[in-house]
């Protein structure tokens, strides 16, 4: 059978009985098994669970019952999100054999929506990285050019969608880990507002920044998955019930687009700059007002991110101490056991961030670094709020370059700079989406659309307009 290109086309195929949910699932399972060795996007294939779920959908269709949007649709899950009874490694040796004791809230919601959980995708260790080269289980290759990275840390999920190994995927986005790989792999990647999606069952990296996001081939696909997983959860006190945007509030014909000059400064690939500016200008066709704005605190966003995030990493990763989770190395005493386990179980990037985070939280340095970073974070958030008094959305490049070569960025600082355009929205807790906006050197690039906090549906509406304008 020929694979359906989108969730909607798969849904229509199931309704018309062109194929069964089991046949659709088996098609993707076979494709993954055949191609995974080369791309390395999956760490585990959940075929037993997937086929049971598919059979349940086929039984429902056989009874003549109505099938909803995600029912029978194969979805891949980043391997830092818990799926009950399956391994959840977070891309780390320290959790190599750890089985999830329960489902994350988003998994419960996907199962309730009838989606097929097809497998767990590879990622940078503990979601720390921008290339998925930091996984303890090998590098993920970009399916569009296997000499290049797929982006990170959700590189496995982005690659799985781009390689047609599933029809959609979940990732996590702390500083750009859904949007940047979406840009590199030529798919749609959405980071919700902080608080729109429950983090219960997501392995914590930086708790004030982490958010589970969605990947799709189209804007519509990414939104379908988001609609299934969003909403209030009693197990995550940061969550709210629904987006604050109502369609009647803003007429898209009067759309006001802010273009921050700081995002088009030195360092961006000139062709990326040109293509993104052209993409933004395409909104003039619907009468949108395009306005240059200034977000001067953007210059400090990456520095703020790399103080706050490691501080939270150092606290969150303290739980991997050889006692409760995963790897356990015996030592002469308890301290020796801790040190041996963490030395063997944690890779270079988590170790680097734990050390940095411990330093900025230590006596004598907390005020100078961590507290100051939190104050600047508040200024960045306020600056966005003031900008949104005059505009409806902000548009920027998702990343300063297309996908880079595997092994190209050996210096951690140059790697961190690939998140320079995505971290500000994360720091402010804003919804942001990356939508394919053309190619540079036969490699895809993404347009980033940022909205006001909890105006997630509006961001999707604007992204859908661009999707139609660019076709």
pLDDT value at residue 337? 79
Active site residue 78: yes
Residue 1's pLDDT band, with cuts at 50, 70 and 90, is low
The pLDDT of residue 423 is above 80: yes
pLDDT band at 12 (very low <50, low <70, confident <90, very high): very high
If we measure between CA atoms, which residue out of 407, 409, 430 comes closest to residue 418? 409
Residue 241 has pLDDT above 90, yes or no: no
**What's the pLDDT score for residue 252?**
66
- The mean pLDDT of 241-249, rounded to a whole number, is 69
SS3 call for 149: coil
Predicted TM-score of the model (pTM): 0.96
Neighbours of 278 (CB within 10 A): 12
Task: Reply yes or no on whether the pLDDT at 286 is more than 80.
Answer: yes
Query: For 26-53, how does the pLDDT look when each residue is reduced to its tens digit (9 = 90+)?
Result: 999 999 999 999 999 999 999 999 999 9
- Reply yes or no on whether 153 is catalytic: yes
pLDDT digits (tens, 9 = 90+) for 50-71: 999 999 999 999 999 999 999 9
Write out pLDDT tens, residues 335-349: 777 777 887 878 899
Is the model's pLDDT at 459 over the cut of 60? yes
Q: How far apart are CA 328 and CA 321, in angstroms?
A: 8
Domain ranges (residues) in the chain: 1-471
Buried b (16+ CB within 10 A) or exposed e, 227-260: bbbbbebeeeeebbeebebeeeebebeebebbbb
CB 97, CB 142: distance < 8 Å: no
Res 121: pLDDT: 98
For 345-388, write each residue's pLDDT tens digit: 788 999 999 999 999 999 989 999 999 999 999 999 999 999 99
Q: Which of 78, 191, 223, 230 is catalytic?
A: 78
The residue from 177, 183, 193, 426 that is catalytic is 177
CATH topology of domain 1-471: Amidase signature (AS) enzymes (3.90.1300)
Asked if 246 is an active-site residue, the reply is no
Specify whether the backbone of 451 is left (phi greater than 0), alpha (psi in -120 to 50) or beta: beta
pLDDT at 334: 79
Q: What's the chain's average pLDDT?
A: 94
pLDDT value, residue 326: 78
pLDDT of amino acid 332: 83
Q: Which of 20, 135, 153, 172 is catalytic?
A: 153
What are the tens digits of pLDDT across the range 293-349?
Answer: 999 998 899 999 999 999 999 999 999 987 778 777 887 887 777 777 887 878 899
Position 266 confidence tier, pLDDT thresholds 50, 70, 90: confident
Give the per-residue pLDDT at 247.
Answer: 63
Q: How confident is the model at residue 217 (pLDDT cuts 50, 70, 90)?
A: very high
Distance of CA 109 to the CA centre of its chain: 18
- Terminal Cα distance for the chain, rounded: 26
Q: What is the pLDDT of residues 108-141, one digit of tens each?
A: 999 999 999 999 999 999 999 999 999 999 999 9
């Amino acid at each position: 059978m020929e694979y359906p290109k989108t969730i909607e086309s798969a849904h229509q195929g199931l309704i018309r009985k062109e194929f069964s949910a089991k046949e659709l699932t088996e098609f993707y399972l076979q494709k993954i098994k055949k191609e995974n060795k080369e791309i390395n996007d999956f760490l585990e294939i959940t075929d037993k669970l997937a086929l049971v779920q598919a059979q349940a959908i086929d039984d429902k269709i056989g009874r003549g019952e109505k099938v909803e949007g995600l029912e029978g649709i194969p979805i891949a899950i980043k391997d830092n999100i818990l799926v009950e009874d399956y391994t959840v490694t977070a891309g780390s040796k320290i959790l190599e054999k750890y089985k999830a004791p329960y489902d994350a809230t988003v998994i419960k919601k996907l199962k309730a929506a009838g989606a097929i959980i097809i497998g767990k995708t590879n990622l940078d260790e503990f979601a720390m990285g921008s290339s998925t080269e930091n996984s303890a289980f090998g590098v993920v290759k970009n399916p569009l050019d296997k000499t290049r990275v797929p982006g990170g840390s959700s590189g496995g999920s982005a690659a799985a969608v781009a390689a047609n190994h599933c029809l959609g995927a979940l990732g996590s986005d702390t500083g750009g880990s859904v949007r940047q790989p979406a840009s590199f792999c030529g798919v749609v990647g959405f980071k919700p507002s902080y608080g729109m999606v429950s983090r219960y069952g997501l392995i914590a990296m930086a708790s004030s920044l982490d958010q589970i996001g969605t990947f799709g081939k189209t804007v519509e696909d990414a939104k379908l998955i988001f609609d299934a997983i969003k909403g209030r959860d009693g197990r995550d006190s940061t969550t709210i019930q629904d987006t604050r945007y109502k369609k009647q509030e803003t007429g898209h014909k009067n759309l006001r687009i802010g273009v921050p000059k700081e995002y088009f400064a030195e360092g961006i690939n000139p062709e990326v700059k040109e293509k993104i500016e052209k993409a933004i200008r395409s909104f003039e066709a619907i009468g949108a007002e395009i306005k240059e704005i200034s977000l001067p605190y953007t210059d400090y966003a990456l520095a703020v991110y790399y103080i706050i995030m490691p501080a939270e990493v150092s606290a969150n990763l303290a739980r991997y101490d050889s006692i409760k989770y995963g790897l356990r190395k015996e030592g002469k005493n308890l301290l020796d056991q801790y040190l041996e386990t963490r030395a063997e179980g944690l890779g270079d990037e988590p170790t680097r961030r734990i050390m940095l985070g411990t330093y900025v939280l230590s006596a004598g340095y907390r005020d100078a670094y961590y507290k100051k970073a939190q104050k600047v974070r508040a200024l960045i958030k306020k600056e966005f709020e003031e900008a949104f008094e005059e505009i409806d959305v902000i548009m920027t490049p998702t990343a300063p370059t297309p996908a880079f070569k595997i092994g190209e960025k050996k210096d951690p600082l140059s790697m961190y700079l690939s998140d320079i355009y995505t971290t500000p929205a994360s720091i402010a807790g804003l919804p942001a989406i990356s939508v394919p906006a053309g190619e540079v050197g036969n490699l895809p690039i993404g347009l980033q659309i940022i909205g006001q906090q909890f105006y997630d549906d509006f961001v999707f509406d604007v992204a859908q307009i661009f999707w139609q304008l660019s076709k």
